[in-house]
Chain A
Amino acid sequence: MLDCPFCGPRNVGEFAHLGEVVARPDPRTATPAQWRDYLYVRDNVAGVVRERWLHRAGCRKFFDAVRDTTDNTVHETVALTAGEGAGS
């Protein structure tokens, strides 16, 4: 069960997991290594991570979740404020 900030608790199968929240560098000034890191490299911790989800089969809004990857405990789900979602 994942608690969508807009729809409430729904089966996790309704959501698409988009991965760790990573800051997007400016494509006009980023080096290839920085761009590579943004595209591909992740911390992949066994622990608490802040990540982005999409309620694909529901409200189709993006939101963040703070989840422990060792046991799937979701500590909170956070609706994104304006400007936070764009480009990240």
Chain B
Amino acid sequence: MEPRRPAREAVRRRRVRPRGYSAVSLARQGGRSQPSWKRAWRHHELRPSYDVVIIGGGLHGLATAYYLASRHGITNVAVLEKDYLGGGGSGRNTAIARSNYLTPEGVEFYDRSVKLYERLSAELNFNIMFSQRGHLTLAHSDASLRTMRWRAEVNKIKGVDSSVIGPDDIKALAPALDTSGEPRYPILGALYHPPGGIIRHDAVVWGYARAADLHGVHLHQQTEVTGIEIDRNRVTGVQTSRGRISAPIVVNCTAGWSSIINAMAGVRAPVVTSPLQAAVSEPVKPFLDPVVVSGTLHVYVSQTPRGELVFGASVDPFTQYSVRGSLDFIEGLATHVLELMPGLSKMRVLRQWAGLCDMTPDYSPIMGVTDVQGFLLDIGWGTYGFKAGPVSGEQIARLIAEGSTPDLIKPFGLERFADGTLVGEKGAASVGH
């Protein structure tokens, strides 16, 4: 694939730092009945052509656009979103960032993302509220404890802070947990990962959108891609609900809807779409510091800065394109949460929702080139896409600018399913086992 970076003389690789929201402006606007905030991103008419078209205006699409513009000077970019920015998985996830994965390739990849998240508020000048409060993955059996030890050692070799701790240390970190021998599946230990934490997911979407817009990227909402034009196995453009665009590079960043877009390009990938449900409780006083995950109990929970508990579990047991919650999910979740923290029985659930996850056979993403020239994939994000937003955007932008797949994402190519080199991360990526 040819690199897209403009001629050296033409590149002014200036990184524009968006203006912050000062305390003075907050006070002034807060006192007005009709606040006059400037739009964070502009509305544009569709150009007849762009250098790069990114399909999907969520975290991954916006991050890719931002890094293309800020790191590589490629600004003639369109992000096409059929609904509103961040309305898909980006707005429906449980907002956790961590890098305590199992495989060396996975750990290195997600660790890069955590490091990017650590600097992101400063870079985007937008508070993404990354609270690195620690992450506990509980082990309720000997086999589970051995896996935690395996993950901890791989993490350490890759320079990531993870260790195995016992019930007493767990109790000190999260007093609300029942660490006695009473429960049916007692807590025997945990993988403790201090750099893990929670982020305000909407803020990341808006921060990237605002910064991308400032660099000249066109963000097109309510613009649905209806077809992809291929000529002699090469992408030449896309058809949208607002008109046709010619473009030599098209990136699929549509996660749960990725198969629909792939079909337009004649590409097939090993993904199936299932909903992942989540729920949030009423806000209460802060009592839970770390993020707590239990694979055995199929549940994970964290407490937001507003005091609400955010719960997640495993994907729905069959594929569908619906984003509604179900009663049996919330019943099952409540049972397992109370196993972990019996003191929550009086807590009320505020709402439940779901997002669409494109699940792959090995619970690792699919990134890189396809057999169709110029058609790139950033899909297969299943239940683990939010934490990887920054690194995915950074690496896909590099792939486009330099014309070759960066080493960090080489293990996640589409060809691995034919080669047999799957990157198995089911245990570390999800609680569905």
Contacts and interface: CB of A to CB of B under 8 A. Distances in A.
A19 B417 contact: no
Given A44-B259, A45-B259, A72-B320, A19 B418 contact: no
Given A13-B328, A46-B257, A40 B270 contact: yes
B418 A70 contact: no
Contacts of B270: 36, 39-42
B321 A46 contact: yes
B322 interface: yes
Which interface class (under 10, 10 to 19, 20 to 34, 35 or more) fits B? 20 to 34
Nearest to B418: A36
A69 interface: yes
Interface string A5-23: 0000000110011010000
Nearest to A36: B418
Contact of A69 (B263, B268, B320): B320
A66 B257 CA distance: 21
B309 interface: no
Given A13-B328, A44-B272, A36 B321 contact: no
Contacts of A16: 317
Given A17-B317, A46-B257, A70 B272 contact: no
A39 B319 contact: no
Interface in B346-385: 358, 361
A26 interface: no
A19 B322 contact: no
B259 A72 contact: no
Interface string A31-54: 011001101111111100000000
A19 to B, nearest CB: 7
A71 interface: yes
Contacts of B420: 32
A43 B321 CA distance: 13
Given A19-B272, A44-B272, A44-B273, A69 B321 contact: yes
A44 B361 contact: no
Contacts of A44: 259, 271-273, 319, 358
B269 interface: yes
A48 to B, nearest CB: 12
B329 to A, nearest CB: 11
B344 interface: no
A42 B317 contact: no
A36 to B, nearest CB: 4
Nearest to B362: A40
B318 interface: yes
Given A41-B269, A42-B272, 5 more contacts: A32-B420, A36-B270, A40-B417, A43-B263, A69-B319
13 contacts: A12-B318, A40-B270, A41-B268, A41-B269, A44-B273, A45-B259, A46-B260, A46-B321, A69-B273, A69-B320, A69-B321, A70-B320, A71-B322
> Closest 9 interchain pairs by CB?
A40-B270, A17-B318, A44-B259, A36-B418, A46-B321, A41-B270, A70-B321, A36-B417, A40-B361
